[in-house]
């Protein structure tokens, strides 16, 4: 279900809708972070925005007690029942876009107010795109993923497409 | 080459002629011209008519402060803009420009009759003239004023242009690309700081563009400018933005910029936005906005051909245009003398330099004498001649405060200079304070509220050398403030023209000042005598004078007029200027298009419209939608020929007699998980949860601290520590944030976490006696029988091959299920059930049928049958309160005296005496229809429908003491008739609840 837009090479950036894999929201007290990480097979970063990977899973810290866990399709993490936590699947809640290219940051700046240059590659954050709550990850120097709730995705995609044409226009 | 263009002079491209039209006539300019410079090059000064008196007007400035030369610009359908400043609009081959506020023609305008009637239009005339007779206001005066008000015609076609927005962060934002701004940008950029330099003009350079004679660091000014721009342009940490206006300065160093992208292009690229709004967050802001020249106030100072001396200098040096053949200069500041010398050198005959000051710098008078220019110090100007263009000026000597006899000096241009006003608009936006500087007769920046530096003429400095040095210092200070210390550079400037001036009110005159048309505010046609009249009529504060006379209230926000107006008002009040005060500047700095402010928020992106995964199916079926919060929901599914009532009746019939399906995906869902989940729900909701078994559901009621109903929904227990909470569609976000608020601030000790799953699940409601028959064949891993899966059960299973959470719940009173599947499968599930349902006569039903079905059962809709003042008791929901619970949100409020007092409005059913009458929702209810008007209203109708199942109308209502009025007859006045109604309980249909069981599936 990857949607590629018509070639907009001039825009210097591509917009792709990623197929759903598996995504979970993990909540637990900071004191239980390390114990939970052992069960998950991936470290739970302490610093908000931090990302860790392991065992095919990826953990993004979104708050002192909140992590987004990304996994392969069908992979459901399991944590010890005696460890107080909440693990809730949100795979279908969200649509994730990949925005990649030399002008990716410029494209995102049409809807995101924060200083994207200060988002270090390999970190992420919860932010807003055009007023819509979103999780942004800087996957690489010029590559980002932007996840929004499903029903907001058409609006976000539409605005990004206008932005792509704007970049391609050269002005 | 035209008569007024000087070959080879200026920064325009003499080799590239550009044709555009002005009032339908083809005008030829050169690439780089503005409309104003191109018209002036063709000897055209008359560019518009004034607002009130329809007086002929020409360009008085060469910049964005222009009050007179406002034109309509257009390029094809929908692309038209009124009140474009001719001094800012660059010409191109697709440009059609038109003058405004004239009929039938610019040179002959019937509205100019107002000019002869000027005595009628004095300050505050509209407060006085149109008072009597009173009856004339609505039919005569107001329509007349509305037609006369405003300049230009608003475009009526939709705007086909695109508008863009960006966010930008930088270390240092420099506003203004004159010498101070350039020096600041260079100083800051050389430290490696990220610098953005904006200038509203097409070319960066500011005053340097108009002073090519200067030599800076050994280079001619324009070479120095080119080198500076090349250096800045080559730095990766610098962004140069010409044609970009800083329109507003907001909190925490956010500055709004409006960038003009295509208005200067004959053939803009496809998909290019016309303008782009930038929201810049800067570590430091350097304001280098320069100064704006002040007009002089004298009789006839508004004729075409009368302009600011600095404007004439700009038209000469930047555009190679002589503004006339024979000019007179009138001034109180040295700078105009230099303009006169430059014009003389370019072949303009300077008939005289009139300076009010009795003595000026000997070097100036000597230079004038050497050039054969008559220097008239200690002289004033008392009148001008000419109609559509100035033809002469009356000059009189002034000595000992007395004005001597005048003589007419013929001229075709009159250049005036009353000194310079530091441009502090953006600084004023920050609420930075200004202090009056007696020496310069100007307000200067005082206390700062934001991280900004003010440099150059903007803080009262004069001369390019001073501006460069001050700019470099400001740039270095800005860099130092962000941790990049540097030493500001120095500049060697030759040919600088230091100068001083005198701040004056109206020029002295020997004529009756009461008859003088000495304009202070050109755009709003306010004269000096209007301001004096306002003071005579009791206005004391400049804010009152402003509003009474409208001076400074035009779109230029008094850039030219404010200080003159203040000086005249202060004189009339006999008080010092700072005591009379200065009005506040507000964003935007210059008029800004709605398009730029709206950005991408137009058409389909005007507002977010949330759609469910099943929405495309509904659309394909021809559903009629309604907005619910940000969602759009299918309201009903009309078949050909059906109106809403017919469609809803059919949909309801299917649910009551067979089976119907409904897209309930928009319901809010919150997964409450953790060892303390049940404790948390006990505290949040009124109901008891501790004994709710796994696999069971319960209706939950949520109150505020005040005890009033906030939200409701079914909550299912999936595991001892996991609940699936549903909320209303519109309440989803609010409920989650209220819960988070309690959890984080009141009960941080609880081990429970909340996750929004509203969009994780698509929800298909299957309701009706045949619901089980339809659904059972698709369900795996669950026995759907009444015994195994009774009403208010929940289970995880597989439905049509999709993992599902299956609820047995009913908002219709029929046997009902709600199937939750991961959202991506929602449409497939829907279509599978739809196909299978055909055998059962299935109907898809929308929100309207859903509302009717629940009303027949007396189920409330929060927000429709409640209004934020309804308690559980009022709504008849006392059964939902866990009586044994020690506490829950709102519990204590439920025993407040007012909450338990008799006479509260309570939810009841109403049945009209005439079963065919459907009451209006919102209609008021009275006990006795014969009482005198105004009647005492004892309640209102909250829900009202025609019920097919009952064969009559039904209604829910909030009525004072309603629960004690069962069987009473009340009255509902509606247009045309008052209807008698009988008070009943709220459950109209199947009060025993027998239908919840539906039909068993034959084994």
Q: Is A6 among the domain residues?
A: no
Q: Write down the architecture of domain B297-417 according to CATH.
A: 3-Layer(bba) Sandwich (3.50)
Residue B114: pLDDT band (50, 70, 90) is: confident
Residue written as tokens 């990977």? A53
pLDDT at A164 over 80: yes
Contact (CB, 8 A) for B739 and B670: yes
Q: Give the residue extent of every domain in chain B.
A: 1-157, 163-291+422-494, 297-417, 504-585, 902-1003
User: What pLDDT, in 10s, does the model give residues B424-435?
Assistant: 999 999 999 999
The SS3 call for residue B583 is: coil
Put simply, the answer to whether B609 touches A162 (Cβ < 8 Å) is: no
Same domain for A83 and A100, yes or no, is: no
Q: Please name which of B469, B449, B475 lies closest in space to residue B457, comparing C-alpha atoms.
A: B469
Q: How far apart are CA B999 and CA B219, in angstroms?
A: 97
Amino acid B583: pLDDT? 77
Its CATH class, for the domain covering B163-291+422-494, is alpha beta
With a pLDDT cut of 70, the percent of chain B lying above it is 98
pLDDT at B825 over 60: yes
What value, to the nearest 5°, has the Cα angle with vertex B626 and ends B624 and B630? 140
Q: How far apart are CA B365 and CA B360, in angstroms?
A: 7
User: What pLDDT, in 10s, does the model give residues B88-103?
Assistant: 999 999 999 999 988 8
Task: State the fold for domain B1-157.
Answer: Ubiquitin-like (UB roll) (3.10.20)
Residue B113: pLDDT band (50, 70, 90) is: confident
Same domain for A83 and A50, yes or no, is: yes
**pTM (whole model) above 0.80:** yes
Q: Is A2 among the domain residues?
A: no
User: What pLDDT, in 10s, does the model give residues B510-539?
Assistant: 999 888 999 999 999 999 999 999 999 999
Q: How far apart are CA B593 and CA A91, in angstroms?
A: 42
Q: How far apart are CA B429 and CA B547, in angstroms?
A: 20
Same domain for A139 and A79, yes or no, is: no
Q: How far apart are CA B241 and CA B185, in angstroms?
A: 12
User: What pLDDT, in 10s, does the model give residues A121-162?
Assistant: 999 999 999 999 999 999 999 999 999 999 999 999 999 999
- For residue B233, give both structure tokens: 């342009």
Phi, psi of B947 (to 5 degrees): -95, 120
Query: Please, where are the H alpha helices in B806-869?
Result: 826-837, 847-857
- For residue A98, give both structure tokens: 């990949």
Which domain-ending residue is among A30, A63, A91? Answer: A91
Q: Is A3 among the domain residues?
A: no
Q: Please name which of B759, B774, B762, B760 lies closest in space to residue B820, comparing C-alpha atoms.
A: B762
Burial readout A19-28 (b: 16 or more C-beta within 10 A, e: otherwise) = ebebbbbbbb
Instruction: Read off the pLDDT of each residue in A93-100 and give the average, rounded to a whole number.
Output: 98
Put simply, the answer to whether B164 touches A110 (Cβ < 8 Å) is: yes
Amino acid B645: pLDDT? 96
Same domain for A59 and A120, yes or no, is: no
- For residue B738, give both structure tokens: 């209220």
Q: Please name which of A145, A50, A73 lies closest in space to residue A104, comparing C-alpha atoms.
A: A145
Put simply, the answer to whether B281 touches A115 (Cβ < 8 Å) is: yes
Burial class (CB in 10 A: 0-12, 13-18, 19+), A16: middle
Q: Is A112 among the domain residues?
A: yes
Mean pLDDT, chain B, rounded, equals: 95
CB atoms within 10 A of CB B744: 9
User: What pLDDT, in 10s, does the model give residues B577-635?
Assistant: 889 888 788 999 999 999 999 999 999 999 999 999 999 999 999 999 999 999 999 99
In this structure, what CATH number is given to the domain that contains residue A157? 3.30.1360.120
Q: How far apart are CA B895 and CA B871, in angstroms?
A: 11
pLDDT at A167 over 90: yes
Put simply, the answer to whether A91 touches B279 (Cβ < 8 Å) is: no
Same domain for A108 and A150, yes or no, is: yes
Residue B149: pLDDT band (50, 70, 90) is: low
Domain housing A42: 22-91
Instruction: Read off the pLDDT of each residue in B260-276 and give the average, rounded to a whole number.
Output: 95
Asked if B1-157 and B163-291+422-494 have one fold, the answer is no
Q: What is the DSSP letter of B137?
A: I
Amino acid A1: pLDDT? 39
Same domain for A139 and A71, yes or no, is: no
User: What pLDDT, in 10s, does the model give residues B388-411?
Assistant: 999 999 999 999 989 999 999 999
Q: Is A42 among the domain residues?
A: yes
Q: Is A4 among the domain residues?
A: no
Same domain for A108 and A154, yes or no, is: yes
Amino acid B130: pLDDT? 64
A83 touches chain B (CB under 8 A): no
Q: How far apart are CA A144 and CA B23, in angstroms?
A: 52
Instruction: Read off the pLDDT of each residue in B691-695 and give the average, rounded to a whole number.
Output: 98
Give residues with Cβ within 8 angstroms of A31, minimum separation 6.
Answer: none
Contact (CB, 8 A) for B301 and B384: yes
- For residue B674, give both structure tokens: 């953790």
Q: Tell me how many domains chain A contains.
A: 2
A5 touches chain B (CB under 8 A): no
Q: How far apart are CA B516 and CA B529, in angstroms?
A: 8
Query: Please, where are the H alpha helices in B154-238?
Result: 179-189, 221-234
Contact (CB, 8 A) for A51 and A119: no
Q: Is A64 among the domain residues?
A: yes
A10 touches chain B (CB under 8 A): no
Amino acid B359: pLDDT? 92
In which element (H, E) is residue A35 found?
helix A33-40
Q: How far apart are CA B853 and CA B850, in angstroms?
A: 5
- Give contacts of A 26-55 with B, CB under 8 A: 27-29
User: What pLDDT, in 10s, does the model give residues B475-490?
Assistant: 999 999 999 999 988 9
Chain A CB contacts of B671 under 8 Å are: 86, 88
Residue written as tokens 């009532």? B645
pLDDT at B966 over 70: yes
Chain B CB contacts of A163 under 8 Å are: 164, 600
Same domain for A77 and A101, yes or no, is: no
Same domain for A98 and A163, yes or no, is: yes
User: What pLDDT, in 10s, does the model give residues B307-327?
Assistant: 999 999 999 999 999 999 999
- For residue B372, give both structure tokens: 């054969």
Contact (CB, 8 A) for B666 and B643: no
Put simply, the answer to whether A159 touches B279 (Cβ < 8 Å) is: no
- For residue B760, give both structure tokens: 């994780």
Put simply, the answer to whether A170 touches B262 (Cβ < 8 Å) is: no
Instruction: Read off the pLDDT of each residue in A62-81 and give the average, rounded to a whole number.
Output: 95
Give the start-end residues of each E strand in chain A: 3-4, 14-17, 22-27, 51-54, 57-63, 66-71, 86-89, 94-100, 123-129, 132-140, 143-149
In this structure, what CATH number is given to the domain that contains residue A51? 3.30.70.1520
Task: State the fold for domain B902-1003.
Answer: Elongation Factor Tu (Ef-tu); domain 3 (2.40.30)
Cα torsion B310, B315, B320, B324: sign: negative
Amino acid B140: pLDDT? 74
Q: How far apart are CA B806 and CA B793, in angstroms?
A: 8
Contact (CB, 8 A) for B408 and B382: no
Residue written as tokens 């907005």? B627
How near does any CA of chain A get to the CA of B99, in Å? Answer: 30
Instruction: Read off the pLDDT of each residue in B469-480 and give the average, rounded to a whole number.
Output: 98
Same domain for A55 and A137, yes or no, is: no
Put simply, the answer to whether B671 touches A117 (Cβ < 8 Å) is: no
Which domain-ending residue is among A32, A58, A91? Answer: A91
The complex scores an ipTM of 0.95
Q: Please name which of B936, B942, B878 lies closest in space to residue B907, comparing C-alpha atoms.
A: B942
What value, to the nearest 5°, has the Cα angle with vertex B231 and ends B229 and B236? 105
With a pLDDT cut of 70, the percent of chain A lying above it is 94
User: What pLDDT, in 10s, does the model give residues B835-869?
Assistant: 999 999 999 999 999 999 999 999 999 999 999 99
Q: How far apart are CA A160 and CA A8, in angstroms?
A: 12
Amino acid B843: pLDDT? 98
- For residue A69, give both structure tokens: 């866990």
Cα Dmax for chain A: 58
pLDDT at B137 over 80: no
Q: Please name which of B454, B484, B457, B448 lies closest in space to residue B175, comparing C-alpha atoms.
A: B454
Its CATH class, for the domain covering B504-585, is mainly alpha
pLDDT at B741 over 90: yes
Same domain for A140 and A165, yes or no, is: yes
User: What pLDDT, in 10s, does the model give residues B754-779?
Assistant: 999 999 999 999 999 999 999 999 99
User: What pLDDT, in 10s, does the model give residues B631-672?
Assistant: 999 999 999 999 999 999 999 999 999 999 999 999 999 999
Q: How far apart are CA B79 and CA B588, in angstroms?
A: 22
Q: Nearest residue of B to residue A131 by CA position?
A: B608
Instruction: Read off the pLDDT of each residue in B236-255 and give the average, rounded to a whole number.
Output: 98
B163: β partners: B275
């Amino acid at each position: 279900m990857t949607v590629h837009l018509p070639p907009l090479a001039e825009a210097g950036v591509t917009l792709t809708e990623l197929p759903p894999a598996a995504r979970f929201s993990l909540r637990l007290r900071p004191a239980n972070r390390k114990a939970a990480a052992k069960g998950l097979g991936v470290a739970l970063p302490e610093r908000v925005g931090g990302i860790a990977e392991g065992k095919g899973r990826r953990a993004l810290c979104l708050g002192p007690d909140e992590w987004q866990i990304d996994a392969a399709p069908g992979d459901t993490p399991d944590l010890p029942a005696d460890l107080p936590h909440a693990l809730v699947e949100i795979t279908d809640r969200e649509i994730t876009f990949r925005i990649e290219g030399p002008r990716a940051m410029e494209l995102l700046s049409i809807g995101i107010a924060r200083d994207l240059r200060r988002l270090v590659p390999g970190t992420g954050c919860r932010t807003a795109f055009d007023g819509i709550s979103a999780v942004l990850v800087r996957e690489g120097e010029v590559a980002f993923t932007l996840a929004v709730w499903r029903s907001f995705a058409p609006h976000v995609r539409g605005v990004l497409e206008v932005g792509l044409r704007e970049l391609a226009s050269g002005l | 080459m035209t008569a007024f263009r000087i070959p080879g002079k200026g920064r325009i491209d003499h080799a590239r002629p550009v044709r555009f039209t002005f009032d339908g006539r083809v005008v030829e300019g050169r690439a780089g011209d503005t409309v104003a410079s191109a018209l002036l090059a063709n000897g055209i000064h008359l560019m518009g008519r004034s607002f009130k008196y329809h007086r002929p007007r020409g360009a008085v400035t060469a910049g964005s402060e222009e009050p007179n030369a406002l034109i309509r610009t257009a390029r094809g359908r929908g692309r038209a803009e009124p009140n474009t400043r001719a001094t800012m609009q660059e010409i191109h081959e697709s440009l059609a420009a038109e003058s405004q506020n004239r009929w039938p023609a610019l040179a002959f305008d019937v509205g100019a009759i107002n000019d002869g009637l000027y005595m009628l239009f004095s300050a505050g005339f509209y407060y006085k003239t149109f008072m009597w007779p009173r009856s004339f206001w609505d039919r005569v005066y107001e329509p007349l004023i509305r037609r006369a008000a405003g300049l230009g015609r608003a475009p009526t076609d939709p705007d086909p242009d695109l508008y863009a927005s960006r966010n930008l962060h930088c270390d240092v934002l420099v506003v203004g690309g004159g010498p101070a701004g350039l020096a600041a940008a260079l100083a800051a950029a050389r430290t490696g700081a990220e610098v953005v330099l904006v200038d509203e003009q097409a070319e960066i350079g500011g005053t340097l563009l108009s002073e090519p004679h200067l030599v800076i660091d050994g280079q001619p000014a324009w070479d120095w400018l080119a080198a500076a721009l090349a250096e800045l342009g080559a730095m990766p940490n610098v962004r140069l933005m010409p044609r970009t206006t800083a329109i507003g300065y907001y909190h925490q160093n956010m500055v709004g910029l409006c960038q003009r992208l295509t208005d200067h292009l004959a053939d803009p690229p496809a998909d290019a936005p016309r303008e782009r709004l930038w929201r810049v967050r800067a570590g430091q802001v350097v304001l280098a906005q320069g100064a704006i020249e002040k007009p002089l106030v004298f009789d006839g100072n508004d004729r075409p051909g009368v302009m600011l001396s600095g404007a004439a200098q700009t038209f000469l040096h930047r555009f190679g245009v002589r503004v006339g053949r024979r000019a007179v200069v009138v001034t109180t500041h040295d700078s105009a003398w230099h303009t006169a010398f430059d014009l003389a050198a370019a072949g303009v005959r300077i008939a005289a330099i009139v300076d009010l000051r009795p003595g000026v710098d000997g070097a100036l008078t000597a230079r004038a004498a050497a050039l054969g220019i008559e220097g008239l110090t200690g002289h004033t100007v008392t009148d001008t001649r000419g109609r559509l263009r100035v033809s002469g000026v009356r000059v009189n000597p002034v000595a000992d405060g007395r004005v001597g006899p005048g003589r007419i000096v013929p001229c075709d241009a009159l250049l005036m200079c009353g000194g310079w006003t530091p441009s502090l608009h953006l600084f004023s936006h920050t609420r930075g304070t200004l202090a009056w500087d007696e020496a310069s007769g100007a307000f200067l920046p005082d206390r700062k509220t934001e991280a900004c530096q003010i440099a150059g003429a903007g803080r009262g400095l004069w001369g390019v050398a001073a501006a460069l040095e001050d700019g470099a210092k400001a740039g270095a200070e800005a860099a130092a403030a962000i941790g990049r210390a540097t030493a500001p550079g120095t500049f060697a400037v030759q040919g600088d023209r230091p100068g001083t001036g005198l701040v004056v009110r109206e020029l002295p005159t020997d004529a009756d000042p009461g008859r003088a048309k000495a304009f202070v505010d050109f755009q709003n046609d306010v004269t000096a005598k209007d301001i004096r009249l306002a003071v005579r009529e009791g206005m004391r504060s400049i804010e009152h004078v402003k509003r009474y006379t409208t001076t400074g209230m035009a779109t230029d926000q008094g850039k030219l007029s404010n200080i003159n107006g203040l000086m005249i008002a202060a004189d009339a009040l006999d008080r010092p200027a700072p005591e009379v005060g200065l009005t506040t500047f507000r964003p935007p700095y210059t008029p800004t298009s709605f398009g730029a402010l709206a950005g991408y928020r137009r058409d389909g992106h005007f507002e977010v419209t949330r759609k469910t995964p099943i929405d495309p199916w509904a659309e394909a079926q021809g559903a009629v939608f309604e907005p619910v919060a940000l969602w759009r929901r299918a309201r009903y599914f009309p078949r050909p020929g059906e109106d809403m009532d017919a469609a809803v009746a059919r949909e309801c019939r299917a649910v009551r007699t067979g089976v119907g399906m409904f897209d309930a995906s928009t319901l809010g869902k919150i997964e409450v998980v953790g060892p303390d989940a049940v404790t948390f729900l006990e505290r949040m909701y009124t109901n008891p949860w501790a004994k709710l078994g796994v696999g069971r559901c319960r209706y939950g009621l949520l109150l505020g601290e005040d005890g009033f109903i906030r939200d409701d929904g079914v909550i299912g227990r999936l595991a001892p520590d996991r609940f699936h909470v549903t909320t209303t569609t519109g309440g989803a976000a609010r409920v989650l944030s209220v819960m988070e608020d309690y959890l984080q601030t009141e009960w941080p000790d609880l081990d429970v976490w909340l996750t929004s799953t509203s969009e994780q699940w698509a929800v298909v409601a299957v309701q009706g006696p045949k619901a089980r028959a339809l659904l059972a064949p698709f369900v795996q891993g669950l026995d759907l029988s009444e015994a195994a899966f009774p009403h208010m059960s929940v289970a995880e299973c597989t439905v049509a091959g999709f993992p599902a959470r299956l609820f047995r719940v009913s908002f219709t009173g029929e046997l009902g299920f709600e199937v939750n599947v991961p959202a991506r499968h929602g449409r497939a599930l829907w279509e599978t059930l739809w196909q299978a349902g055909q055998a059962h006569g299935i109907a898809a039903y929308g929100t309207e049928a859903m509302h009717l079905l629940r009303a027949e059962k007396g189920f409330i809709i929060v927000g429709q049958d409640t209004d934020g003042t309804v308690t559980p008791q009022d709504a008849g929901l006392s059964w939902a309160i866990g009586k044994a619970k020690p506490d829950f949100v709102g519990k204590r409020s439920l025993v407040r005296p007012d909450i338990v007092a008799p006479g509260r409005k309570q939810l009841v059913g109403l049945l009209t005496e005439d079963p065919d009458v459907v009451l209006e929702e919102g209609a008021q209810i009275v006990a006795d229809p014969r009482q005198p008007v105004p009647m005492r209203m004892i309640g209102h109708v909250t829900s009202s429908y025609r019920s097919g199942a009952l064969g009559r109308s039904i209604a829910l209502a909030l009525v004072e003491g309603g629960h004690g009025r069962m069987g009473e007859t009340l009255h509902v006045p509606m247009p045309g008739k008052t209807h008698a109604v009988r008070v009943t309980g709220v459950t109209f249909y199947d009060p025993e609840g027998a239908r919840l069981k539906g039909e068993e599936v034959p084994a």
